Structure 1
C-alpha cells in the first residue's frame, strides 16, 4: 500500500522543478536532517539515473549509523521512470543500505501543481520491506519537503 506526503511550497512549479532536478538544487535540500548530499551524476530523462552520496554529518546521525553497522557515507542511485517538466517526476530508488537485507527498488512519484500560495507537492511513496523502514523513509521524505519549504522561503 502506498503512502502519500503532501506539502505546499511557496514557489512556482518551475522553481520547485529546478530545485528537484539539478545537482545544485538537490544538494541544497535533499538530505535528511543531519546529512549532506553530493550529486555525482544526473541524467534527467525516463531511464536516466541520479547518483549521489549521502553523508552523515551531525553527531546524532553519525551515532545512529555507527550503532547500526552502516557506513557514514553511502552512494545512492535512482532511476527515473517519468520526467514531465514541470509537473511529474517518478523514480525508483535502489534500497541497498539495509543491513542483512537483499537490495531492491522502491518507487516514488512526485506531482507538482500550481496552487494559491505556491506549488502543491504530492509524493506517492511505495513502502519499504517493513513498517520500521517505511516509517524512516516517510520521515526522511517529509523532512526533505520541509527543507525545501525553508529553502524557498529564505530566497
Structure 2
C-alpha cells in the first residue's frame, strides 16, 4: 500500500459527557441515529459489545445522489457491514476492526478504528483514528464519511439537549 497517509484522524468536541457519547456509540438505538453518512440509513442487526464481539449492521443508500453513486460503481444499495471489537473501555476508549468486503475488484481486508473520549472543559473531545484504506481515493472517502458521521453525532447531541 503506497499512501500519502497511514491513518485518518478526526477530532470533534461536543457539549455533553463522555457517558452520553459512549451510549450513542455503543447501543443499537444510538448507532441507528447517527452512524450513517448523509443519504444513508443504518439498521443494527447484531451488537455484542465486548472484546471479540461483533457489530453487524445494514447500511442502505436512500438519497438519490447516493443511490446514483452506488449504481454507477456497480455496488449494491444495501451493504451488510461487520465490525469486531478489539477494545471496550467504558467510557473512554473503543476500538474495532471493520471488514472492507464491499469494494468491487478489491480483496476483502480489515482496518482498525480507535475512538477516544476525553472529558474537557467544553464537554467531551472525541478523537477517531482509522487506518488508511487500500488506496488514496478510498482513504479520502473514508475520511469524508467519518467526518460526516461525527457531524451527525453532533446534531443528535444538540437535538437531545
Same fold (TM over 0.5): yes
Residue 99 of structure 1: SS of its match in structure 2?
Answer: coil
Q: Cα distance, 1:154 vs. partner?
A: 1.1
In structure 1, what is the equivalent of residue 31 of structure 2? 26
Q: Cα distance, 1:2 vs. partner?
A: 1.7
Q: Cα distance, 1:40 vs. partner?
A: 0.6
Residue 141 of structure 1: SS of its match in structure 2?
Answer: helix
How many aligned positions are there? 155
TM-score by length of 2: 0.95
In structure 1, what is the equivalent of residue 22 of structure 2? 17
Residue 145 of structure 2: SS of its match in structure 1?
Answer: helix
Q: Cα distance, 1:117 vs. partner?
A: 1.8
Consecutive aligned runs of 4 or more in structure 1 exceeding 2 Å deviation: none
In structure 1, what is the equivalent of residue 83 of structure 2? 78
Q: Distance in 2 between matches of 1:150 and 1:37?
A: 16
Q: Cα distance, 1:132 vs. partner?
A: 0.2
Q: Cα distance, 1:111 vs. partner?
A: 0.2
Q: Cα distance, 1:9 vs. partner?
A: 1.5
Q: Cα distance, 1:14 vs. partner?
A: 0.2
**Structure 1: 5+ residue stretches without partners:** none
Q: Distance in 1 between matches of 2:8 and 2:142?
A: 10
